[in-house]
Structure 1
């Protein structure tokens, strides 16, 4: 028996067996496969590097464009779009599938808007009773869904009377030497706060409880949003001529033209395919919602300018406050409710 230790140091190494044709072919094939694999990996790395470079360039260009938009409008476009899509999804789902969820959604939005507005008024030196305002406002909003139309007007009158009386009694106990003019202003603001936010919000719930009312609520909100989006896009791209420089310097006539086009197109499409109405009614619906949405937007801008603030709050990044998103929707409820009673007999 021998092993490796039996080989002498001077002995020549054993001769290797000659390669067969098959072995040589396999070696050549293995070499070719290795070269192809290396080339493939090289192409993959090059394609990956090119893709990453293009993504980085596109991201840099988008961030640069977003920064220019943010400097011009004061809004973060990406965050605003994401929040808008999330709110829109909740809104559509609640209207179509669960009306009671929309009732809660509307109540929450109204109370948050009231709270924002009340805090802004207090910051400007006004006396606002926030807790009574919120409690009475909640009752007023819910009455729109749970009581009849005429009884709701009684609830609205009582709500305004209660907040006014509460403010007068609170002022009597305060004894802070507040002037007659300031007290009168506080009283008028107390009533206005109820009428501006919860009363208009309650009209939306009155429309919701009607037969097919959820589609009307969705339609007028879509038109108001389309108007706002059209104004934003065209104003940002082509805006040169200020519409109301003393109220809102960034609003332009070009933006209003874009808002009008978007509102009319949305009105016609929604009238035909959602509400089952003739196409010409869509022009009327779009025009009226355009007018009320624009008036509401300018009205809130005037209020904020008088209060010396840019936004009611910063609760919705990219949008401002809740009331900043409701400014065009709340007045449009009045137009939508009136149009429902006018055009619903024409529905197919």
Structure 2
């Protein structure tokens, strides 16, 4: 299933970039639904309907109208989600404490900042000139990070990187991820983006850091919620968010780097 989805995403970016909006809306919508559902399971009442609606709405806003429209969609969405929760509280018979309501509202804000905002960076990048190639390129580097970390950590890993957050992550695995990301980054910059080789080194180093941070962030979220996987959307692989956790923060890095290189 993951392979089929990767083929669909690649096809939309190469053949008809506008259709990537459908793929992005699906990814962000499902990701937000998974995280809000996990939060509700842990007793944090984050409204799912408006949260998913905002995640989907930010995709066409970002692709068709740009940064400002995406930002206003996000801010307006956060207001909507907060008001939705406050109305729920006002209409409920058993009133939660003010602390619980504040926790629900801030958790709803976090979901949008973590998934919708970072996800919008992918969409914004795909809408740029040759942005579709940048999206494919930075995702290839993210895959290299995950592959390098897994292979090196499995064979050489001895020193835990963050044992309380992710016990299997090691500094040896991180070193392997950096090396793999630099190699793939150079190839992407040279063969795909037509940039000097050293920009691939910069891309690889930055993405290795952001991808690792994304992985650790989701591990912290799951540990805080007391769950192993965000959902069972992908049998045997956890949730969809478990598969894109490294991509989300890396999208912001790639988008900023694109702006620097092209402007």
The answer for unaligned runs of 5 or more in structure 2 is: none
Q: How much does 1:130 deviate?
A: 0.9
Instruction: Render the CA deviation track for 1:185-234: whole Å, top value 9, x for unaligned.
Output: 00101111112112221221111111000011111111111101111111
Q: Is 2:56 the counterpart of 1:134?
A: no
Provide the secondary structure at the position in 1 that maps to 2:176: helix
Q: How much does 1:150 deviate?
A: 1.9
RMSD, aligned α-carbons: 1.3
Residue 201 of structure 2 aligns with which residue?
A: 283
Q: Which has the higher contact order (CA 8 A, sep 6+)?
A: 2
Q: How much does 1:100 deviate?
A: 3.0
Residue 233 of structure 1 aligns with which residue?
A: 151
Provide the secondary structure at the position in 2 that maps to 1:312: coil
TM normalised by structure 1 equals: 0.73
Q: Is 2:245 the counterpart of 1:315?
A: no
Which protein has the larger Cα radius of gyration, Structure 1 or Structure 2?
1
Distance 2:140 2:52 in 1: 28
More divergent stretch after superposition (131-140 vs 291-300): 131-140
Provide the secondary structure at the position in 1 that maps to 2:79: helix
Whether the 8 Å contact between 2:50 and 2:77 is mirrored in structure 1 is no
Distance 2:57 2:68 in 1: 16
Residue 114 of structure 1 aligns with which residue?
A: 32
Q: Which one of 318, 323, 336 corresponds to residue 254 of structure 2?
A: 336
Q: How much does 1:91 deviate?
A: 2.1
Q: Is 2:175 the counterpart of 1:253?
A: no
Runs of 4+ in structure 1 over 4 Å off: none
Distance 2:138 2:176 in 1: 17
Q: Is 2:22 the counterpart of 1:96?
A: no
Residue 162 of structure 1 aligns with which residue?
A: 80
TM normalised by structure 2 equals: 0.96
Q: Which one of 117, 130, 133 corresponds to residue 199 of structure 1?
A: 117
Instruction: Render the CA deviation track for 1:75-103: whole Å, top value 9, x for unaligned.
Output: xxxxxxxx443332222222111223321
Q: 1:318 to 1:225 in 2, by over 3 A?
A: farther
Q: Is 2:182 the counterpart of 1:264?
A: yes
More divergent stretch after superposition (273-282 vs 315-324): 315-324
Whether the 8 Å contact between 1:268 and 1:281 is mirrored in structure 2 is yes
Q: How much does 1:153 deviate?
A: 1.6
Provide the secondary structure at the position in 1 that maps to 2:167: strand
Residue 221 of structure 1 aligns with which residue?
A: 139
Provide the secondary structure at the position in 2 that maps to 1:343: helix
Distance 2:152 2:87 in 1: 50
Instruction: Render the CA deviation track for 1:95-144: whole Å, top value 9, x for unaligned.
Output: 11122332111111111111111111011001121112112221122211
Whether the 8 Å contact between 1:136 and 1:159 is mirrored in structure 2 is yes
Number of aligned positions between the proteins = 263
